[in-house]
Amino acid sequence: MPLIYLDGRFVDRDSARVAVNDHGLLFGDGVFELFRFYHRVPFRLSQHLARLYSTAATIDLELPLSESELSDAVLRTIAANSRQSGIVRLTVTRGAGTLNLDPRKCDPVVMILVEEMRPYPIELARCGISVIAMPSERPGGPPRKTLSYLSETTARHRAIRAGVSDAVLLHPRGHVLGTAAGNLFLVRRGELHTPPIAEDVFPGVTRAVVLELAHEMRISVSETPFPLETVAQAEEVFLTSSAAGIVPILRCQGKPIGSGSCGPITELLRQQYQILTYGSVPTVNSITDREET
């Protein structure tokens, strides 16, 4: 049974408990990060921890552990679960308090879960997914990984009910923000396009990795806003996230994108990303084997 890190001790999943008056549960008052580890090594851990602390600062949440202490806790949790690869979900809640919004009696709670989770079935993630578009319901201001994640979960629920895997989220002015699950890229005439990091575009860690890879591969990149119509006219489209990596998008609003299959630039970037993370380009069988370890 998986072991959960809960405020400095390890407990089995069935015994892990969060107080019913924890402000993370009552008000969505807390922060989190989700990232993968490969060969027991967390991928881009320092970037994820830096973002966790940055997000916590925006909601005046003082984390009870230093970055080095949190890093050590993550590594110990991975070791305790004896997995070679998987997902880490690091959560810090405001802690138990009163039933009003006053946080002064709260002591933050740190939880670390390690297990396997894939946002999409392996075959879809490998071959490509379909999406629909919808207006974003995110509140104004910079997007943050807080426990108030309702806009993203609602968009994903609506996409699944529509029979597709994810949703492209649109700003009120009409330009593309990303997807419910991550950042969005497209290819036109050999150039890579992605929305710029601004008020409403999430600063994804995997997004940054893809931009680094594109630079190394001498792929031209444009970080400028674009409307949904540009997605429909693209030769290739893909999304990025820490959980899913790089996933081709083959259909949007029921219409095929480009050739209707994973494009060459998407595939090249994905292969380089897999080499960077796994150390090689894994086969479907090797991915399945890793999930069972």
Burial (Cβ within 10 Å: 0-12, 13-18, ≥19) of residue 102: exposed
Q: Can you give 75-95 as a three-state secondary structure string?
A: HHHHHHCCCCEEEEEEEEECC
- Best CA proximity match to 88, nearest among 60, 62, 117: 117
Amino acid (1-letter code) at residue 62: E
Q: What is the pLDDT of residues 149-205, one digit of tens each?
A: 899 999 999 999 999 999 999 999 999 999 998 999 999 999 999 999 976 899 999
Q: What is the pLDDT of residue 100?
A: 94
Tell me the Ramachandran region of residue 253: left when phi exceeds 0, alpha when psi lies from -120 to 50, beta otherwise.
left
CATH number of 122-282: 3.20.10.10
- Helices and strands: H and E segment counts in the chain: 9, 15
Name the CA radius of gyration of the chain, rounded. Answer: 19
C-alpha 177/C-alpha 200 separation (Å) is 7
The pairs formed by 120-128 with CB atoms below 8 angstroms and a separation of 24 or more are 120/165, 120/166, 120/244, 120/247, 122/284, 122/287, 122/288, 123/284, 124/165, 124/247, 125/244, 125/245, 125/247, 126/284, 127/248, 127/250, 127/261, 127/262, 128/247, 128/248, 128/249, 128/250, 128/261, 128/262
Domain ranges of the chain: 3-115, 122-282
Higher pLDDT, 266 or 140: 266
Res 125 pLDDT > 90:
no
pTM: 0.91
112 pLDDT tier (thresholds 50, 70, 90): very high
d(CA 76, CA 260): 43
The answer, yes or no, to whether residue 242 has pLDDT greater than 90, is: yes
Structure confidence at residue 286 (pLDDT): 42
The residues that bridge with 170 in the sheet, in sequence order, are: 135, 176
Record: fold of 3-115: D-amino Acid Aminotransferase; Chain A, domain 1 (3.30.470)
Share of the chain above pLDDT 70, in %: 94
pLDDT for the residue numbered 289: 39
